[in-house]
Amino acid sequence: MANVTIPVGPQHPALKEPECFKVTLDGEKIVGVEIRLGYNHRGIEKACEERTIVQSQYILERVCGICSHSHSTCFLMAVEEAGKIEVPRRALWIRTLIGELERIHSHLLWLGVAGHELGFDTLLMYTWRDRELVMDLLALISGNRVNYNMNVLGGARRDITDAHRAEIRKALPVFRERTAYYARVAQEESTLIARLSGVGRLTKEEAIFYNANGPTARGSGVDRDTRRDDPYLAFPELEFEVVLDDHSDVYGRTLVRIGELMQTYDLIEQIIDGLPEGPIGPARAIRRVAAGEAVSRYEAPRGEDIHYVCTNGTDKVERVKVRAPTLGNLPAVVRMLEGGFLADVPIVVAAIDPCFSCTDRGIRVARSQGQDVWDADALRAYAIEFYRKRGLDLTRVKAPGR
């Protein structure tokens, strides 16, 4: 029988965000995968060029709903490096604390989503219930559950009080107990092991070759963690272990995330114990930033987040480029899916903890012949012609924003 091509997405029950995986099948077996990006392009980088740095910070915080603090911190770290702005030590520690709390909520969320993709909804319900505890902590410290807005150029926006520290200290034993329980479930529940073992295989060599990052790489035994390799914020002063696993499949990635949760609790304990005294931000809000350029790397819960920023001496940025962790992990997904089964697509894709909206930046498609870049008018003319051939007249539909 000839090979069959099935599009998984852009609208598909297994995907929470629009992205297209064109899967070529030989029977049930996947023989080829083609990924199409760009369904959720929001023009964030361009929007930042037209706004001041103070405004861009909030726009970039909304690149991702889950690792929002990662993006805003990564951007500000780049701006501060480019403009040579000194950040008080206490502010660095506060940023680190929020980043690690965010890692707890992201990893617990992922564990639930993975359970859901397997049909193990019991795991989803309990992990998400436990996640509420860290959401409450973040709301207590920052005011809101998501988009904490804890950063300001050159410092932190809100302070950590003793009451906050006491609340975090109270929650840590609960987190530890629950995570130890999930670790036990992951190691003993035979259905989970059977379903995840050998699925989405990515050997160590392949992970390095396809440049996987974050827990995806560490689940294949690649010893790579920005927090240790290129320490930022308070990480030079903190001690933690990089969790590795050599299962090299979805099961390995699950174990890495659960192990990382335990390390994160240790990190949070170190931060609240050693939080230095001092100011949390500049006395006067900084608006203008000296000209310069910088690249900053940040270990977001999903993997390595990279921001490039070029400042020009005004209160705006000349250029900002965002590389979300998911974009780095997508080439590896193609390799993971090949040779697997169609039914494994949802869990293999979910195993990199994808965030497609974060990923979609402007991408120029290089073609060997013909026009490769279309402007809005050309795209509109093509769409009208496309639908006219199918008997639909869309000439009277107004283009947005005109």
Could you give the 3-state DSSP secondary structure of residue 126?
helix
Could you list the beta-strand ranges (E) of 120-171: 151-152, 155-156
Nearer to another protein by Cβ, of 40 and 52: the residue is 52
Nearer to another protein by Cβ, of 34 and 136: the residue is 136
**Minimal distance in Å, beta carbon 389 to another protein?**
36
Nearer to another protein by Cβ, of 30 and 192: the residue is 192
**Minimal distance in Å, beta carbon 158 to another protein?**
5
Integer Cα distance of 237 and 93 in angstroms: 10
DSSP string, 186-240: HHH-HHHHHHHTTTT---HHHHHHTT--HHHHHTTT----HHHHS--TTGGG---
313 torsion bin: left (phi>0), alpha (psi -120 to 50), beta (else): left
Measuring CA to CA, which residue among 234, 294, 307 is closest to residue 81? 294
Integer Cα distance of 100 and 41 in angstroms: 28
Q: What is the contact surface with another protein in residues (CB under 8 A)?
A: 51-52, 54-56, 58-59, 61-62, 122-123, 126, 129, 132, 139-144, 147, 149, 152, 155-159, 181, 184-185, 187-191, 193, 280-285
Give the strand order in the sheet containing 20-26. 4-8, 20-26, 29-36
**Minimal distance in Å, beta carbon 267 to another protein?**
23
Nearer to another protein by Cβ, of 107 and 158: the residue is 158
**Minimal distance in Å, beta carbon 284 to another protein?**
8
Nearer to another protein by Cβ, of 51 and 380: the residue is 51
Reading the block at residue 15, the tokens are: 């995907």
**Minimal distance in Å, beta carbon 108 to another protein?**
14
Reading the block at residue 21, the tokens are: 């995986």
**Minimal distance in Å, beta carbon 369 to another protein?**
42
Nearer to another protein by Cβ, of 222 and 286: the residue is 286
**Minimal distance in Å, beta carbon 48 to another protein?**
10
Integer Cα distance of 56 and 58 in angstroms: 5
Nearer to another protein by Cβ, of 38 and 282: the residue is 282
- Cα four-point dihedral sign 21, 124, 177, 146: positive
**Minimal distance in Å, beta carbon 339 to another protein?**
26
Measuring CA to CA, which residue among 187, 178, 351, 185 is closest to residue 265? 178
Nearer to another protein by Cβ, of 141 and 337: the residue is 141
DSSP string, 77-122: HHHHHHTT----HHHHHHHHHHHHHHHHHHHHHHHHHHHHHHT-HH
